[in-house]
Every structure is written in C-alpha cells, then in structure tokens.
Copies of this chain bind each other. A is one copy, B any other.
C-alpha cells in the first residue's frame, strides 16, 4: 500500500480437498491488489481448470529446463507430477511493493521457508477429518485409489502442523478468508516490515 515499502510474502498450504482454492479466491476478491503466485505444474488440468489461473500447465521438458536455469524458488514431485514456484515473478512483485500470496504443497512450503525464514506459513485445515473425506468424494474427479492416497497424505501432513505459524479452519469460506486477510494485514504491520517508516524520524 505504501510505495516505499517492499511487499510481503506469505505462504498458504493445506491438504488436497480442504477448499483452499475457494478460500484464496475470496481473499483475492477482497484484496485485488494482492499478487497470487500461480504454480507451474506438469500435471493434467482438471475439468474447468484454466492455464495461468489455477496453474501454469507446462510439459516435462519445459519444467526440467526451468529447474536447470535456476528459475524456481522450489519444486517437488507428487503423484508423478512436477510442481514449482517461479522466484523471478515473485521477486519482481515484492520489489514493486506488492504483497504476494503463495499457494504451495507442504514440502514446497518447507523449502521456501528454509530460504526465506520470515515468510509466514498458513495451513488450512478442515473442521474435521470426516469433512475432508466428504469434500474429496464430493469433488467426483478422483478415483477411489487417488482419494485414499490423498487422505493418507493429509494425515501425514497434519502431523507437521506445528511447523506452521497459523492454522486456518475452513468451517466457512467467509471465516477462513477473513482469517487470511487479518494475517496478511497483521504481517504488514510487523516492525521489520515497517522499518522504512522509522527512517523519517
């Protein structure tokens, strides 16, 4: 919001099926100034997914070129597909004073956090594990095998929850989005992020 300030980076993560995308969409609707960093992936788009919106969909040779050229802040493989985040895109926005929200898988969030330890980590959790299972089944896009794999991965991920700074309970989209917006605003108030103000004194 202030031209003198560098933008803040924040990470949002969570198990598959938790409704993270819907929460993020609501956050972006309320904060259109926010830059949402879209991940690159080699996985096949799901019905309705749009290139450049849900993901940047690229093929394996292109993804491997990006790795070799050092263009990625992090990358990982899940279910045989690559996922990765462009460092270049993010840093350009931060330099311009624009806040950046990153949606990354759990392993990726760990890698980014190791490189940029001041980045707040948010983790979206379901109100209960039963709700998560219902949502995964309700999506009707995955086979039973995939659902079981996602559920057992979610269980593993929940064990690492204490690594995260913030837990967002997705009971309603409005509540969860309000939590994320509050965290982004609060992070912008951190003394380290407002140090530029003190130079005037």
From 150 to 194 in chain A, residues with beta carbon under 8 angstroms from any chain B beta carbon are: 158, 161-162, 164-169, 178-179, 181-183, 185-187, 189-191, 194
The answer to whether the Cβ of A114 comes within 8 Å of any Cβ in the partner chain is no
The digit string for A14-53, where 1 denotes a CB below 8 A from any CB of B, is 0000000000000000000000000000000000000000
With A186-B186, A189-B182 known to touch, is A197 a contact of B125 (CB < 8 Å)? Answer: yes
Could you say which of A165, A189, A197 has the most chain B C-beta atoms within 10 Å of its C-beta? A189
The answer to whether the Cβ of A140 comes within 8 Å of any Cβ in the partner chain is no
Interface residues on A, range: 20 to 34
Write the chain B residue with the least CB distance to A164: B191
Bound-state CA distance A129–B198 (Å) is 10
Bound-state CA distance A46–B169 (Å) is 45
The answer to whether the Cβ of A145 comes within 8 Å of any Cβ in the partner chain is no
* Cβ-defined contact, A191 with B178, below 8 A: no
With A128-B200, A201-B129 known to touch, is A165 a contact of B182 (CB < 8 Å)? Answer: no
13 further interface pairs, Cβ-Cβ under 8 Å (given A125-B197, A161-B191, A182-B183): A122-B189, A123-B191, A128-B200, A162-B191, A166-B191, A179-B186, A179-B189, A182-B182, A182-B185, A183-B185, A185-B186, A186-B186, A186-B187
